Structures are given as structure tokens and as C-alpha cells.
Amino acid sequence: MNPRHARLLATALAFALGAPTAALSAAATPQRLAIHSGGFEALGQSRSGTAQAGHAFVQRPVRVSHGEWSIDDLPLVIDPSTVQLQGEGVLVQSQRYDFSTADHAQLLQNAIGQTISVEQNLMSGLREHTGVLVAVGNGLSLREADGRLRVLSTYSSFSLARMPESLVLRPTLRFRLDTGGIERDARLDYATAGLAWRAEYRASLQGGGNDCRMSLTGHAMVVNRSGIDFNAVALDLIAGDANRRIEQMTRSDSRLPVLAEAMAVGRMSAEAMPAVVASGEGHRYTLPGTHDLPNGSLQRLPLIAAVRPIPCERRLVAERPGPDWMPDTPMLHREIGADGEVPVRSRLVFRNDPRAGLGMPLPAGRLRAFDAGEFLGEAELGHTAAGRELDLDLGGAFDVSAERRTLDFQLDPARSTMLETVEWTLRNGKNKDALVHLGDRLPRWTDWQLVEGAEHFEKRGAQRIEARVRVPAGGETVLRYSVRYRWTAATPND
């Protein structure tokens, strides 16, 4: 069958089967779908229930007619307050959203007052009761033809002569339009949940320390749990953190298909890369061509072509945990819970600027790092503007450890001073030297001075010092510092 005959047959079948009014649009412009970042984890991991997470904006060309016009192939989690139908010569006189779908409970509730036939599967066989449905609750209550009221606590099935008019098979938008008596092209805009995306990056590393070089590629993972397919859509991916609030629309049929991953992606050419432009306070990534997003699918689409070689740094970092904060009074107690093992973390550091081979806005997502095909770890990164540095934690260091001990603490209230001596021991089980970035906090008071160890440690903030420590292969390095805190006699203290 040639393509023309196939299209004619599909059109005839659509009319014969009662296709939705807006399914056949005369507009040549493809449907446009703008999906915002955020909500990907909730949609990607969910196995059942309504998909209330995510946010997308739909611009759909439609062909409308004069008088009553409706459309029912809509997402199950559409936000009806955002619906707008507009077109030249099209006047919207009224608009209504019907979302009471014909599930078991809704059918019975809306059938009160109608004649209903109910079947019971009893020990003696199947028995049928017919009457007017008067109540629904713990079973069904029927008024039979002779006026008796029959209460059925259990039943196996029921049948109705017709579906209640207030129910619909699918959520439906109904319009009353003035189009001047003719069909016209228009555009239906609305926002919906059930769609989300995030970026996935792969970093292939070579070399160590400051000699690290990296190849970086990026894809967009797009999930659709909206309840309908989006086929042949022009696709925009929006990265940013705009506030939004979508009212929760409850649907009775909560069964959504389990996600089926569609992960096959070929090599990315320059023509396949999205165009990036500013969009409000975020960025819009417009993908070339059109794309199919079936309901219950996870798509992997090209986002960033391979960029190489990018200068990077692989760091081992040992930092005393805890937030930087300024105490209201000097902390005079010796024990402040800072001694013991301190985790050594493996970190990847690089700059997002043109001199590093990047210089593009990087949307939030997950980065996986590899070295010669070996998995090193993964990290989450937020939306990163051009020119910013990324410092990503890839996981713990197996062969390098750090320990912190307070060797001495002297308090002299009379002179309003205290002196603390701290020792760090770094151990290296590797067969080559390791460079560790060591960071410590000085939280006892705001006025402090290093009186020992200043040749190793540098001040990096109001209450932070750092050192770069080389630890020999199979050996250890010990660093010590002493810090004196001062306060005035009028300063309150604990």
C-alpha cells in the first residue's frame, strides 16, 4: 500500500471510530512542548499512581469549528487553569473542563436514581436483581418494582442502561466558539505535570592531579508519565528554578504503565545539538527536528557534543566536617567533638569557561566519571553558568586516610586567651605519593592567630585554614598547628 492510500485509510478509520474532534488538525506547524527541569526523580522512579511531579507547557495547533467543540486526548494531570485557546477569527464564549471519569466508584455514585441490574454469585448460583439505585456505600441499595428496598452487601457485577451524562471516558475540554460559521486554525496552550528532564554527563579522565584532562559529553533524559503520547513534537528543554504551583487533579484510574527505557542514541553530529538561548532567568535548549515521547517512556536525547581536552584537577580532600558559623561567645570547653578519623574524599575540579573548552550554561544533572573505562564515581551538579568552577565529590578514597587529634588545650580566663594545639596524621597506602588538600575549621572564637604551623597552613576564610600535604607512598605525614584565641574582658563567654 502506498503512503497516500495509507493516509486516506487512516483518516477514514479515524472518522469511523469516532476520533476526538481535535485529532485531525489542518495546521502544518508541529506541536511544541517545553519541558522544565525538576521532578525527574519522582517521575522516573514512580511505578504507580498519578504523576503529579514535573512541569511542561504545550502549544498545540488545532482545527476548530463553530459552536460546541471539544478535545479529550489530554494529559491526565493537565492544569486546567492554564488552558488558553486562541486563533484569528476565533472567539471563546465559554470553556469547561470535565474530569470525572467513568471508573467503578464514579459510575455508581452518578447512577443514583437510575435503573441498575446487579448480579450476585451465591452458593445456589448466579442471581440478578433489578431496581432503582438509591444508595451507594457498604454495598448497594435498590428500590425494586414492587416498592421493596433491597440492600446488597456484596455483588459480583452490575450493568447500567446508559452512562451518566456527567461522566466522561477521558478528561475533556469543552468550548463554545464563535468562528463566524467556518472551521479555523487555532492554537491550544496549557501546562501539565507528568513530564520532566535532567542532564546526564559522562566525564572520561586521563592523568592525575593537576595533569588531569577530561572529555565531557552530555545527554538529556526526558520522562513522560503524563498519560498521553506526544508524537512529532518540537521540543524545548528549560533549565532553571522558576516557582510554579500546579493544583492536584485526582483521577480515578491510577494505573500508569511501567517506564520502558528507550536508550539507544547514535553518535551526535553538530547538526543534532540543541540551540541554547536565555529564557527568563534560565536557559532554553531547543532540539533540532521533531521527537516522539510515548507515554511511559524514558528518552535519551543529545544535549552536549563531546568536548575535549578539558583541563581538570583530581583532588584528595580531607576536611573537618561542619558548617562555617560565627559563635556568639568564645567556646571555652576543651571537647568540641572534632577529633577522630576524617574522611578523605576524591574530587573532580574544572572550570566551565571557554579557555577550558566549555563556556556554556550546563543544566543541572548527574555526572559519571571514568578513568580508562573504570568507574570512579558520580556526583550531582546544579545549574552552572559559564565561567563558574565545579568541584564535584566522586566518593571516598580507599587507600588514603586522615586523623585529627587535639594534643593540648590551655585556657587563661584572666588574660582572656586560650591556646589549642592540633595534630593531623595523613596515611597513604598507595604505591605512589599522594597530594591531600587538608582543611580545618577554627570555630572557638572570631579573633585567632596561628602561633605554630603557619608555614604549612594558610588562612582561607574567617574561620578556616588549609594546607596541601604530600604523603609518601606507603608512608605518613604529620602536621601540627597551634592557634591562640583572644577576647576582651567585656565579651560574654560560656
> Are both 291 and 324 inside the same structural domain?
no
Measured torsion, CA atoms of residues 53, 59, 65, 71, in degrees rounded to the nearest 10: -20
> Are both 282 and 318 inside the same structural domain?
no
- CA–CA distance, 130 with 314 (Å, rounded to integer): 78
> Are both 379 and 462 inside the same structural domain?
yes
- Asked if residue 166 is part of any domain, the answer here is no
> Are both 321 and 269 inside the same structural domain?
no
What is the CB-side half-sphere exposure of residue 269 using CA atoms within 13 A?
3
Cα distances (angstroms) measured from residue 161 to each of 25, 131, 252: 34, 12, 22
Q: Which of 309, 338, 373 is the last residue of a domain?
A: 309
- CA–CA distance, 174 with 67 (Å, rounded to integer): 10
pLDDT digits (tens, 9 = 90+) for 170-212: 788 999 999 999 999 999 999 999 999 999 999 999 988 888 9
- Asked if residue 320 is part of any domain, the answer here is yes
> Are both 358 and 375 inside the same structural domain?
yes
Predicted pLDDT of residue 167: 56
Residue 153, domain CATH:
2.30.30.100
Predicted pLDDT of residue 76: 85
Predicted pLDDT of residue 452: 95
Predicted pLDDT of residue 242: 63
Predicted pLDDT of residue 395: 95
pLDDT < 50 positions in the chain: 1-27, 49, 246-271
> Are both 399 and 420 inside the same structural domain?
yes
Whats the size of the chain, residue-wise? 494
Range(s) of the domain holding residue 474: 311-486
Number of domains in the chain: 3
- Write the burial class of residue 385 (CB in 10 Å: 0-12 exposed, 13-18 middle, 19+ buried): exposed
pLDDT digits (tens, 9 = 90+) for 477-488: 999 999 999 998
> Are both 204 and 321 inside the same structural domain?
no
- CA–CA distance, 418 with 448 (Å, rounded to integer): 10
Predicted pLDDT of residue 221: 94
Radius of gyration of the chain (CA): 33
pTM score: 0.72
Q: Which of 242, 275, 309 is the last residue of a domain?
A: 309
> Are both 355 and 425 inside the same structural domain?
yes
**Grid cell at residue 89:** 477569527
- CA–CA distance, 416 with 367 (Å, rounded to integer): 50
Predicted pLDDT of residue 280: 56
> Are both 304 and 316 inside the same structural domain?
no
Predicted pLDDT of residue 193: 93
> Are both 457 and 330 inside the same structural domain?
yes
Predicted pLDDT of residue 271: 47
**Grid cell at residue 328:** 556568639
Residue 165: how many CB atoms within 10 A of its CB? Answer: 7
**Grid cell at residue 209:** 592531579
The residues near 182 (Cβ < 8 Å, ≥ 6 apart) are: 66
- Asked if residue 373 is part of any domain, the answer here is yes
> Are both 364 and 409 inside the same structural domain?
yes
Predicted pLDDT of residue 72: 87
Compute the Cα dihedral for 371, 375, 376, 378 and give only its sign.
positive
Predicted pLDDT of residue 461: 85
